[in-house]
């Protein structure tokens, strides 16, 4: 397998990722889907490798003919894993081959091994990635910056607007909120963090679940003075249906998504 075919495999893995995990895809590369498709076609034409061409046709067929979103995501993840494993395997063989020296200064083995591997994310990481991905489906004029380090704190994700007149959105993820006191502390800390960006800032507490005994909706209605100087929304992630829910999410859609989402 030649250098062009190995490179195409890596790009195909990224192309599959762009569909099932667009947030991770944005963190991995600045290339658009169209740029990757164009580059893959160029590499396939020059490599003339039937196996890699077959895999690319499979990628197209999966996107076109798969029925449910769950089945589509599963197949794309499998194809992503297969592409990177093949790329790593053949790049290692190619790099060790004495009679086939590398035609470019960058090691193909290093290229293949540098792409993200499939690892089991923690519950917290999965929550923030999935929640942000859902928001970005609507807020397409925002760019995510994960684990953002502000001078006064470190936040799980900062959504940066393309237009400076639009508010930054600061997101703090919590897998579970058990008590009212727990929620008060989270909200107070997030309010302090929002001061760095000023009052034209939106805060989001992204939560995987709330204890039934915690009367958090009552707390959200309270006027707590300075801690309410910034608008903070509690969004609950429904993992079964892969969606954001709750009365606060309805407010978030009205106040933020409908106002700042592109037409």
Domain boundary among the residues 87, 119, 151 is at 119
Taking Cα atoms as reference points, which of 139, 127, 207 lies closest to residue 169?
139
The model's pLDDT over 149-182, given as tens digits with 9 standing for 90+, comes to 888 788 999 999 988 889 999 999 988 887 888 8
153-161 vs 142-150, strand pairing mode: antiparallel
The pair phi, psi for residue 3, each rounded to 5°, is -60, -40
Tell me, yes or no, whether 8 and 114 share the same domain. yes
Domain boundary among the residues 101, 119, 137 is at 119
- The pLDDT-based confidence of 227 (bands split at 50, 70, 90) is very low
pLDDT at 116 over 90: no
For residue 249, give the CATH number of its domain: 3.40.1350
CB 113 within 8 A of CB 89: no
The CA angle 70-72-78, to the nearest 5 degrees, is 105
Q: How many domains does the chain have?
A: 2
Ramachandran quadrant class, 154 (left: phi over 0; alpha: psi -120 to 50; beta: rest): beta
Domain boundary among the residues 103, 119, 135 is at 119
pLDDT at 86 over 70: yes
The model's pLDDT over 65-77, given as tens digits with 9 standing for 90+, comes to 877 777 788 788 8
| Residue 215: strand, helix, or coil | coil
29 or 207, greater pLDDT = 207
Tell me, yes or no, whether 9 and 94 share the same domain. yes
**Domain boundaries, position 17:** 3-119
Tell me, yes or no, whether 50 and 151 share the same domain. no
Q: What is the pLDDT of residue 80?
A: 86
**What average pLDDT does this structure show over 79-108?**
65
Q: What is the pLDDT of residue 38?
A: 92
**What average pLDDT does this structure show over 7-36?**
86
Mean of the per-residue pLDDT values of the chain: 79
């Amino acid at each position: 397998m030649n250098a062009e075919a190995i490179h195409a495999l890596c790009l195909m893995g990224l192309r599959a990722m762009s569909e099932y995990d667009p947030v991770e895809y944005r963190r991995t590369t600045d290339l658009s889907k169209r740029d990757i498709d164009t580059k893959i076609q160029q590499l396939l034409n020059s490599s003339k490798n039937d196996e890699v061409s077959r895999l690319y046709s499979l990628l197209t067929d999966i996107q076109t003919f798969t029925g449910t979103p769950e089945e589509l995501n599963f197949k794309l993840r499998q194809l992503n894993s297969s592409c990177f494993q093949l790329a790593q395997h053949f790049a290692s063989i190619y790099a060790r081959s004495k009679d086939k020296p590398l035609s470019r200064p960058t090691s193909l083995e290093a290229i293949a091994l540098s792409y993200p591997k499939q690892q089991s994310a923690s519950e917290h990481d999965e929550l923030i990635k999935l929640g942000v991905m859902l928001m970005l489906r609507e807020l397409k004029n925002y760019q995510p910056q994960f684990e953002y380090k502000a001078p006064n704190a470190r936040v799980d994700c900062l959504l940066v607007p393309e237009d400076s007149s639009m508010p930054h959105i600061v997101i703090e993820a919590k897998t579970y909120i058990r008590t009212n006191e727990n929620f008060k502390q989270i909200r107070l800390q997030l309010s302090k963090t929002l001061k760095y960006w000023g009052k034209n800032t939106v805060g989001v507490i992204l939560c995987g679940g709330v204890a039934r005994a915690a009367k958090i909706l009552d707390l959200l209605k309270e006027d707590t003075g300075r801690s309410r100087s910034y608008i903070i929304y509690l969004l609950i992630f429904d993992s079964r249906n892969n969606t954001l829910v709750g009365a606060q999410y309805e407010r978030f859609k009205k106040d933020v998504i409908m106002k700042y989402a592109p037409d």
